[in-house]
């Protein structure tokens, strides 16, 4: 009898060990899947949502049939920072800008880094809400020097924004409109500019970049 019980104990122990191993493998697979999903939708440098996630959230906001705005900005003379202080300092600067932008309160739904030194904000609300967010972002970035590896530097940004209440609007078209306004702000050195289809020229680089 004791021999049978011993055999049963060994078998049960083997089953439990197998279940434990299977559970550990399943947990690792789930962790790897979560990491892969996060990396597919977030920026490596800042940890912010990336272009893919921003477009998905913008598409969802438009589907809600509510007014929505897009604010786009890039840092002035960022290439100079990379060239003179190095890419590590440039990455530190991008991370700090991302942290500053995430401090913007409602009605900002999401803050994203699209590429390079380009950031985007998705705004829930009307045209006045979008304009207020655009100006707040511009002021926050320029307010204080930012600490990088090699010291403190002052940073400014060029900000463009657009707004729509049309649920059939294309997310990429809204990005392109905000992009056009942003380059208008950069050319005119006014800091912040809204999209005006009948008065704002549409740069070829902007149009191609957001429709590829």
> How do the domains of the chain map onto residue ranges?
1-41, 51-211
- Domain 51-211 is found in CATH 3.40.250.10: no
pLDDT of 208 above 70? no
Question: Tokens at residue 36, please?
Answer: 């892969």
* Whole-number pLDDT of residue 207: 42
Candidate list 117, 129, 179, 194, residue with the active-site label = 117
- Residue 117 a catalytic site member: yes
Give the E-state strand segments of 57-156 in sequence order.
Answer: 68-75, 108-115, 118-124, 146-148, 151-153
The single-letter DSSP state of residue 32 is H
* More confident: 168 or 110: 110
Strand pairing report for 157-164 and 192-194: parallel
Is omega for the bond preceding 107 within 30 degrees of 0, making it cis? Answer: yes
Structure confidence by residue, pLDDT tens digits, 170-207: 999 999 999 999 999 999 888 999 998 865 455 544 44
Q: In this structure, are residues 68 and 123 in contact, taking their beta carbons and an 8 Å threshold?
A: yes
CA distance 47 to 54: 13
Beta strand 118-124 with 68-75 is: antiparallel
pTM, two decimal places: 0.80
CA 134 – CA 173 distance, rounded (Å) = 18
Q: What pLDDT is recorded for position 199?
A: 59
End-to-end CA, the chain: 75
Output b/e per residue, 145-154; b: 16+ Cβ within 10 A: ebebeeeebe
CA-to-CA distance for 158 and 27, rounded, in angstroms?
45
Q: Please check the confidence at residue 16 and state whether its pLDDT lies above 80.
A: no
pLDDT number for residue 26: 67
To the nearest 10 degrees (0 to 180), the angle between helices 78-85 and 87-101 is 140
């Amino acid at each position: 009898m004791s021999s049978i019980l011993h055999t049963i104990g060994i078998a049960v122990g083997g089953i439990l060990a197998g279940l434990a191993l299977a559970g550990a493998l399943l947990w690792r697979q789930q962790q790897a899947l979560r990491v892969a999903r996060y990396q597919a939708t977030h920026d490596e440098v800042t940890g912010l949502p990336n272009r893919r996630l921003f477009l998905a959230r913008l598409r969802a906001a438009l589907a809600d049939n509510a007014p929505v705005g897009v604010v786009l900005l890039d840092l002035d003379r960022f290439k100079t920072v990379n060239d003179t202080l190095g890419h590590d300092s440039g990455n530190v600067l991008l991370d700090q800008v991302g942290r500053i932008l995430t401090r913007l309160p409602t009605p900002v739904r999401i803050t994203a880094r699209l590429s390079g030194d380009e950031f985007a904000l998705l705004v829930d609300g009307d045209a006045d809400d979008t304009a207020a967010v655009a100006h707040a972002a511009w002021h926050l970035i320029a307010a204080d020097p930012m600490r990088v590896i090699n010291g403190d530097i002052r940073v400014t940004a060029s900000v463009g924004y657009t707004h729509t209440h049309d649920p059939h609007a294309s997310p990429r078209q809204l990005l392109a409109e905000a992009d056009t306004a942003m380059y208008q702000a950069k050319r005119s050195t006014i800091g912040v500019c809204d999209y005006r289809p009948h008065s704002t020229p549409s740069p070829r680089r902007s149009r191609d970049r957001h429709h590829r």
